[in-house]
A = this chain, B = another copy of it.
Amino acid sequence: MVYRRTKKVNQRLEARLQAIMQAAREEFARNGFYGTSIKDIARRAGVGIGTIYLYLRNKEALFAALVNEAYEMVLDRIARARKNATGGRQKLQASMEAALAVLQENRDLARVMLVQSPAGHPAVAEQLYDLLRRLARLVEEDVLEGIARGELPPQDAHIAALAFVGTFYQVVISWLKEGIPADLTAAGKELIAYNLRGLGYPVEGVIENA
């Protein structure tokens, strides 16, 4: 044997993989799964078509890797934020801020996951709904905790959790598609107030008895 990978080569391979992933992130974010061809990604990454298949099984695996990246990122960030919070209300607030921050920092990835993944292969599309379901479950737990402590009025915690997640989803979609609000985390303040009021937490700004 007269050839063994040297460190330099390993670095080049790693850099190439990253170039391909980055090119895919940009292309898929802009043009979606079916609107992006392997050729497009190869061109943007500056590699040959066949090269992509040395690094990833196929087009779907490439797309799925990106969606999964976004999925893990959001869940991970939220989980860490919740560690430092106690009580339903604080956990909710920390989760919301963490989610908006991580999306704002990774716009392309957010587009791939939230806007383009439903247009991909069904198996991949499911991951978005799975993320939303998991987020809703977290919210539901917090709501149930709030009700148990008497901080919240009795209510259908499942519906409330869906509503809660829905507000974020819609605002993020608007941010991704129209650029409004321009600053996602700033808009988050309004959004948090809306949801805390919606759940029944006392928040300043409510006008007493009409």
Residue numbers of A with Cβ under 8 A of B are 32, 34-35, 115, 118-120, 122, 125, 129, 132, 150-156, 158-160, 162-171, 173-174, 177, 180-181, 187, 190-191, 193-195, 197-202, 205-210
Contact = CB atoms under 8 A, between A and B. Distances in A.
Contacts of A174: 162
Report the copy number of this chain in the oligomer. Answer: 2
> Looking at chain A's contact residues, is the secondary structure mostly helix, strand, loop, or mixed?
helix
Given A163-B170, A200-B205, A200-B207, 5 more contacts: A129-B173, A152-B207, A164-B167, A166-B167, A167-B167
A167 B197 CA distance: 14
B163 A194 contact: yes
13 contacts: A118-B118, A152-B207, A154-B205, A159-B187, A159-B191, A159-B194, A166-B168, A166-B170, A197-B199, A200-B206, A200-B207, A202-B208, A202-B210
